[in-house]
Protein backbone atom coordinates (compact mmCIF):
# COMPACT_ATOMS: atom_id res chain seq x y z
CA UNK A 1 0.00 0.00 0.00
CA UNK A 2 1.29 3.46 -0.91
CA UNK A 3 0.90 5.64 2.17
CA UNK A 4 0.02 8.64 0.01
CA UNK A 5 -3.13 6.80 -1.04
CA UNK A 6 -4.23 5.79 2.45
CA UNK A 7 -7.26 7.68 3.81
CA UNK A 8 -5.55 8.30 7.17
CA UNK A 9 -2.65 10.16 5.58
CA UNK A 10 -2.67 13.77 6.73
CA UNK A 11 -0.75 16.91 6.01
CA UNK A 12 2.05 16.94 8.53
CA UNK A 13 2.44 19.81 10.97
CA UNK A 14 5.22 22.34 10.73
CA UNK A 15 8.49 20.70 11.74
CA UNK A 16 9.87 21.42 15.17
CA UNK A 17 12.65 24.01 15.03
CA UNK A 18 16.18 22.74 15.43
CA UNK A 19 17.60 23.82 18.75
CA UNK A 20 20.61 26.12 18.67
CA UNK A 21 21.72 24.65 21.99
CA UNK A 22 21.47 27.89 23.93
CA UNK A 23 18.53 26.81 26.11
CA UNK A 24 17.59 23.92 28.36
CA UNK A 25 15.54 21.71 26.03
CA UNK A 26 14.48 19.12 28.61
CA UNK A 27 10.73 18.58 29.12
CA UNK A 28 9.81 21.53 31.35
CA UNK A 29 7.23 19.76 33.49
CA UNK A 30 9.83 17.78 35.46
CA UNK A 31 12.97 18.78 37.32
CA UNK A 32 16.25 17.31 36.11
CA UNK A 33 16.40 14.63 38.81
CA UNK A 34 12.74 13.63 38.45
CA UNK A 35 13.33 13.30 34.72
CA UNK A 36 16.36 11.10 35.35
CA UNK A 37 14.32 8.95 37.75
CA UNK A 38 11.62 8.54 35.11
CA UNK A 39 14.25 7.57 32.51
CA UNK A 40 15.64 4.96 34.90
CA UNK A 41 12.16 3.54 35.46
CA UNK A 42 11.60 3.49 31.68
CA UNK A 43 14.77 1.40 31.36
CA UNK A 44 13.34 -1.10 33.86
CA UNK A 45 15.45 0.22 36.71
CA UNK A 46 18.66 -1.03 35.09
CA UNK A 47 21.20 1.48 36.36
CA UNK A 48 23.86 0.03 34.03
CA UNK A 49 21.79 0.18 30.85
CA UNK A 50 23.69 2.02 28.12
CA UNK A 51 20.45 3.60 26.90
CA UNK A 52 19.78 5.09 30.31
CA UNK A 53 23.24 6.63 30.48
CA UNK A 54 22.99 7.99 26.94
CA UNK A 55 19.79 9.75 27.96
CA UNK A 56 21.29 10.85 31.29
CA UNK A 57 24.06 12.78 29.57
CA UNK A 58 21.61 14.16 27.03
CA UNK A 59 19.48 15.49 29.89
CA UNK A 60 22.60 16.77 31.66
CA UNK A 61 23.74 18.55 28.50
CA UNK A 62 20.45 20.42 28.39
CA UNK A 63 20.24 21.09 32.13
CA UNK A 64 23.69 22.76 32.17
CA UNK A 65 22.34 25.46 29.84
CA UNK A 66 20.05 26.62 32.65
CA UNK A 67 23.09 27.34 34.85
CA UNK A 68 23.66 31.09 34.55
CA UNK A 69 26.96 31.29 36.43
CA UNK A 70 29.29 31.09 33.43
CA UNK A 71 32.40 29.66 35.16
CA UNK A 72 30.28 26.79 36.50
CA UNK A 73 28.71 26.21 33.10
CA UNK A 74 32.16 26.01 31.51
CA UNK A 75 33.04 23.16 33.87
CA UNK A 76 29.69 21.42 33.23
CA UNK A 77 30.21 21.78 29.49
CA UNK A 78 33.60 20.09 29.72
CA UNK A 79 32.01 17.22 31.66
CA UNK A 80 29.18 16.92 29.14
CA UNK A 81 31.49 16.85 26.11
CA UNK A 82 33.70 14.24 27.72
CA UNK A 83 30.80 11.96 28.59
CA UNK A 84 29.13 12.50 25.21
CA UNK A 85 32.30 11.15 23.58
CA UNK A 86 32.44 8.31 26.09
CA UNK A 87 28.91 7.35 25.08
CA UNK A 88 30.03 7.19 21.46
CA UNK A 89 33.16 5.17 22.15
CA UNK A 90 31.86 2.80 24.82
CA UNK A 91 28.15 2.48 24.10
CA UNK A 92 28.14 3.19 20.38
CA UNK A 93 25.32 5.72 20.87
CA UNK A 94 25.15 9.31 19.63
CA UNK A 95 22.36 11.59 20.83
CA UNK A 96 23.31 15.29 20.72
CA UNK A 97 21.73 17.45 23.41
CA UNK A 98 20.28 19.69 20.68
CA UNK A 99 17.83 16.92 19.72
CA UNK A 100 14.48 17.59 21.40
CA UNK A 101 13.68 14.42 23.38
CA UNK A 102 10.39 13.79 25.16
CA UNK A 103 9.59 11.67 28.19
CA UNK A 104 9.72 7.90 28.70
CA UNK A 105 11.94 7.36 25.66
CA UNK A 106 13.54 3.92 25.73
CA UNK A 107 16.83 3.11 23.99
CA UNK A 108 16.67 -0.67 23.84
CA UNK A 109 19.94 -2.57 23.71
CA UNK A 110 22.84 -0.47 22.44
CA UNK A 111 25.35 0.00 19.68
CA UNK A 112 25.23 1.67 16.30
CA UNK A 113 22.64 4.27 17.33
CA UNK A 114 23.02 7.59 15.50
CA UNK A 115 20.07 9.66 16.69
CA UNK A 116 20.44 13.04 15.01
CA UNK A 117 16.76 13.89 14.73
CA UNK A 118 14.90 17.18 14.90
CA UNK A 119 12.67 15.86 17.68
CA UNK A 120 11.77 12.57 19.40
CA UNK A 121 8.39 12.44 21.11
CA UNK A 122 7.10 10.78 24.27
CA UNK A 123 6.95 6.99 24.76
CA UNK A 124 9.21 6.24 21.80
CA UNK A 125 11.25 3.02 21.55
CA UNK A 126 14.47 2.88 19.53
CA UNK A 127 16.57 -0.24 19.08
CA UNK A 128 20.17 -1.06 18.16
CA UNK A 129 21.70 0.07 14.85
CA UNK A 130 19.04 2.74 14.33
CA UNK A 131 20.00 5.76 12.26
CA UNK A 132 18.09 9.04 12.37
CA UNK A 133 19.64 11.77 10.28
CA UNK A 134 20.10 13.66 7.05
CA UNK A 135 19.96 12.10 3.56
CA UNK A 136 22.63 14.40 2.06
CA UNK A 137 25.47 16.55 3.30
CA UNK A 138 24.15 19.65 1.51
CA UNK A 139 21.24 20.10 3.95
CA UNK A 140 22.27 19.46 7.53
CA UNK A 141 18.89 20.64 8.80
CA UNK A 142 16.89 17.94 6.97
CA UNK A 143 16.25 15.82 10.06
CA UNK A 144 13.26 13.66 10.98
CA UNK A 145 10.61 14.15 13.64
CA UNK A 146 9.31 11.13 15.56
CA UNK A 147 5.93 11.76 17.15
CA UNK A 148 4.68 10.10 20.35
CA UNK A 149 4.48 6.31 20.68
CA UNK A 150 6.64 5.57 17.63
CA UNK A 151 8.32 2.15 17.73
CA UNK A 152 11.53 1.70 15.71
CA UNK A 153 12.89 -1.77 14.92
CA UNK A 154 16.55 -2.78 14.94
CA UNK A 155 18.61 -1.54 12.02
CA UNK A 156 15.99 0.93 10.78
CA UNK A 157 17.05 4.07 8.92
CA UNK A 158 14.91 7.22 9.01
CA UNK A 159 16.29 10.08 6.93
CA UNK A 160 15.33 13.59 5.88
CA UNK A 161 12.94 16.35 6.80
CA UNK A 162 10.05 13.97 7.39
CA UNK A 163 7.57 13.18 10.15
CA UNK A 164 6.90 9.69 11.48
CA UNK A 165 3.35 9.95 12.77
CA UNK A 166 2.06 9.06 16.20
CA UNK A 167 2.02 5.34 16.95
CA UNK A 168 3.77 4.33 13.74
CA UNK A 169 5.78 1.11 13.80
CA UNK A 170 8.94 0.92 11.69
CA UNK A 171 10.08 -2.64 11.02
CA UNK A 172 13.62 -3.93 11.42
CA UNK A 173 16.02 -2.76 8.69
CA UNK A 174 13.37 -0.59 7.02
CA UNK A 175 14.53 2.55 5.21
CA UNK A 176 12.12 5.48 5.63
CA UNK A 177 12.58 8.60 3.51
CA UNK A 178 8.98 9.87 3.26
CA UNK A 179 6.37 11.02 5.77
CA UNK A 180 4.66 8.20 7.66
CA UNK A 181 1.00 8.59 8.71
CA UNK A 182 -0.07 7.93 12.31
CA UNK A 183 -0.38 4.23 13.12
CA UNK A 184 1.24 2.96 9.94
CA UNK A 185 3.29 -0.25 10.02
CA UNK A 186 6.23 0.23 7.66
CA UNK A 187 8.56 -2.46 6.33
CA UNK A 188 11.05 -2.88 3.53
CA UNK A 189 13.54 -0.89 1.46
CA UNK A 190 12.21 1.61 0.70
CA UNK A 191 9.63 1.28 3.47
CA UNK A 192 6.00 0.71 2.53
CA UNK A 193 2.87 0.59 4.66
CA UNK A 194 1.54 -2.95 5.09
CA UNK A 195 -1.27 -2.13 7.53
CA UNK A 196 -2.62 0.50 9.91
CA UNK A 197 -2.51 -0.12 13.66
CA UNK A 198 -5.73 -0.01 15.61
CA UNK A 199 -5.79 2.90 18.10
CA UNK A 200 -6.15 0.35 20.91
CA UNK A 201 -2.62 -0.88 20.06
CA UNK A 202 -1.27 2.60 20.75
CA UNK A 203 -3.32 4.60 23.23
CA UNK A 204 -2.46 4.18 26.85
CA UNK A 205 0.12 1.45 26.27
CA UNK A 206 3.23 3.23 25.07
CA UNK A 207 5.42 1.73 22.37
CA UNK A 208 5.83 -2.00 22.46
CA UNK A 209 9.09 -3.56 23.56
Element (H, E) at 32: helix 32-42
Looking at residue 173, what is its pLDDT? 97
Q: Indicate the average pLDDT of the chain.
A: 89
Looking at residue 199, what is its pLDDT? 84
Looking at residue 209, what is its pLDDT? 37
Report percent pLDDT > 70 for the chain: 89
Looking at residue 8, what is its pLDDT? 42
pLDDT band at 16 (very low <50, low <70, confident <90, very high): low
pLDDT value at 1 more than 50: no
Looking at residue 206, what is its pLDDT? 40
Looking at residue 198, what is its pLDDT? 87
Output the CA torsion 128→208→18→51 (10° steps). -40
| Residues in CB range of 89: below 8 A, 6 or more apart | none
Domains and CATH numbers, the chain: 19-92 (no CATH), 116-198 (2.160.10.10)
- What global pTM score does this model have? 0.87
* Separation of alpha carbons 170 and 185, rounded Å: 6
Amino acid sequence: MNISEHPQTRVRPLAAPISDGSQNGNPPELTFWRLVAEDLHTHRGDFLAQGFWCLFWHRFGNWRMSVRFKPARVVLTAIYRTMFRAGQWIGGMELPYTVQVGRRVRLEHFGGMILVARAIGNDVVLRQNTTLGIPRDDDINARPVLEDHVDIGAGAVVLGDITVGRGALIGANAVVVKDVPPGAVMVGVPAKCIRMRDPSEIDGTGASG
